[in-house]
Amino acid sequence: MKVIMTVNGGQIEAEVPDRTLLVDFLRDVAGLTAANIGCDTSSCGACTVLLDGQSAKSCTVLAAQADGRAVVTVEGLASGPDEMHPMQLAFRAEHALQCGFCTPGMVMAAVSLLAENPLPTEDEVRTALEGNLCRCTGYHNIVRAVLAAARDGAAGSDEAAAVDGAAGLAASEAVAGRRSA
Amino acid sequence: MIPAPFTYQRAGSADEALELAADGGEDAKFLAGGHSLLPLMKLRLAVPEILIDIGRLSELRYIRDGWATLRSGTAGRSAARWRTPTPRPTCPPWSWPWTAS
């Protein structure tokens, strides 16, 4: 079927088989390889992206389900190629990654959390990241990074994550407009 | 892994979803979010020929607290259920301990 979606602020249109998964659409059609395929069964969260502003495991969403909606991957978080999103800065500062495979998903889940809950407790961070596994077991630093980003006001800086379901496409286009301006 | 081939249909209303299901018969399954069904389809434990997407039907996205019942719409999100306060703490999934806050 023909799928049109807004990915990191730009519109992408492609004719894909009905069974195409969103993560494969992002990696193979959009050329964005940050969302990783880990477990492939929605357990590990390495493929987490924002779908209309909320975290979703893109290995378990059809591209067809994302038709007409706005997707943000970790490539689309920062405001420019030489910039980093506050959550990325916090992950770097707190040494919240080891091998890095889970990191794109962790960052997107964390951004989604702060969009809903700008100042979470440590318990709330751990609960929100339950669906994301780190096989290097670096959880303490990841939680520390999310708490640090929250303290630094990362939630308020993120326009993409604030996109609400109904207004997803329009708002995302507005973001694209601002970026290209 | 990708699922076996199927035809994707998106219902515009609950009535249309029922019509599509009647047309599809046993070969059709409903798709709400997909976090249970799609992994099963990847593993070929489920091989529907038609998927009827009801995920966008706001009429199926509700939580109704009746006197003796709690009804959750079939297109409702688990996260929405967990966030919904309820006077029935013994009713799963509302009773999961980490949902208390």
How does pLDDT run across A48-69, given as a tens digit for each residue?
999 999 999 999 999 999 999 9
Whole-number average pLDDT of chain B: 83
Q: Percent of chain A having pLDDT more than 90?
A: 80
A76 to chain B nearest CA, in Å? Answer: 24
CA distance A130 to B32: 22
Taking an 8 Å cut-off on Cβ atoms, the answer to whether B10 and A64 are in contact is yes
Inform me whether the pLDDT recorded for A29 exceeds 90.
yes
Inform me whether the pLDDT recorded for B89 exceeds 70.
no
Smallest CA-to-CA distance from A7 within A36, A24, A33, A30 is with A30
Q: Which of A92-106, A109-123, B38-52, B54-68 shows the lowest per-residue confidence on average (mean pLDDT)?
A: B54-68
B8 reaches A (C-beta below 8 A):
yes
CA distance A17 to A40: 18
Q: Percent of chain B having pLDDT more than 90?
A: 55
- Helix or strand or coil: residue A127? helix
**pLDDT bracket for residue B93 (50, 70, 90):** low
- Strand-pair partners of B31: B53
Inform me whether the pLDDT recorded for A168 exceeds 60.
no
Q: Mean pLDDT over residues A135-150, rounded?
A: 97
Inform me whether the pLDDT recorded for B6 exceeds 50.
yes
Task: Please tell me what DSSP assigns to residue A176.
Answer: H
- Strand-pair partners of A6: A11, A70
Q: How far is C-alpha A116 from the chain's CA centre?
A: 14
CA distance B101 to B84: 11
Inform me whether the pLDDT recorded for B1 exceeds 50.
yes
**pLDDT bracket for residue B67 (50, 70, 90):** low
A41 reaches B (C-beta below 8 A):
yes
On whether the CB atoms of residues B30 and B21 are closer than 8 A, the answer is yes
Question: What per-residue confidence (pLDDT) applies to B86?
Answer: 61
Question: What per-residue confidence (pLDDT) applies to B70?
Answer: 73
Smallest CA-to-CA distance from A46 within B87, A158, A56, A54 is with A56
Smallest CA-to-CA distance from A32 within A1, A64, A5 is with A5
CA distance B28 to A66: 20
Helix axes A86-93, A103-116, angle to 10 degrees: 120
On whether the CB atoms of residues A120 and A111 are closer than 8 A, the answer is no
Closest-approach residue (CA) in chain A for B33:
A61
In the block, tokens 């495979």 appear at A101
Higher-pLDDT residue of A157 and A72 is A72
- Minimum-distance CB partner of A19 among B5, B10, B101: B5
CA distance A71 to A98: 26
SS3 content of chain A, % helix, strand, coil (to 5): 45, 15, 45
Question: What per-residue confidence (pLDDT) applies to B99?
Answer: 44
Could you say which residues from 31 to 50 on chain B have a Cβ atom under 8 Å away from some Cβ of chain A? Answer: 31, 33-35, 38-39, 42-43
Predicted ipTM? Answer: 0.84
A57 reaches B (C-beta below 8 A):
yes
Question: What per-residue confidence (pLDDT) applies to A161?
Answer: 46
In the block, tokens 């689309």 appear at A76
Strands (E), chain B: 7-10, 28-31, 50-53, 63-65, 70-72
- Minimum-distance CB partner of B42 among A20, A40, A130: A40
Whether the bond between B39 and the residue before it is cis, its omega within 30 degrees of 0, is no
